[in-house]
């Protein structure tokens, strides 16, 4: 089962390394998006 998403929840679902590997995005871009 999946947890219901909560837009106010700041808990990351994936770590930066996993997102970089899956998307090919630059880690700095992902960190900027988080802010």
CA gyration radius for the chain? 11
> How far is Cα 19 from Cα 12, in angstroms, rounded to an integer?
11
pLDDT score of 17: 93
Q: What is the pLDDT of residues 9-31, one digit of tens each?
A: 677 688 899 999 999 999 999 88
**Is the CB of residue 18 less than 8 Å from the CB of residue 27?**
no
pLDDT score of 28: 95
Q: Is 6 helix (H, G, I), strand (E, B) or coil?
A: coil
Q: Is 10 helix (H, G, I), strand (E, B) or coil?
A: coil
Q: Residue 32 CA to chain centroid, in angstroms?
A: 11
Helix H, strand E, coil C: the string for 20-35 is: HHHHCCCHHHHHHHHC
């Amino acid at each position: 089962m999946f947890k219901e998403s909560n837009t106010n929840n700041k808990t990351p679902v994936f770590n930066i390394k996993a997102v970089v590997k899956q998307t090919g995005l630059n880690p700095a871009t992902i960190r900027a998006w988080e802010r």
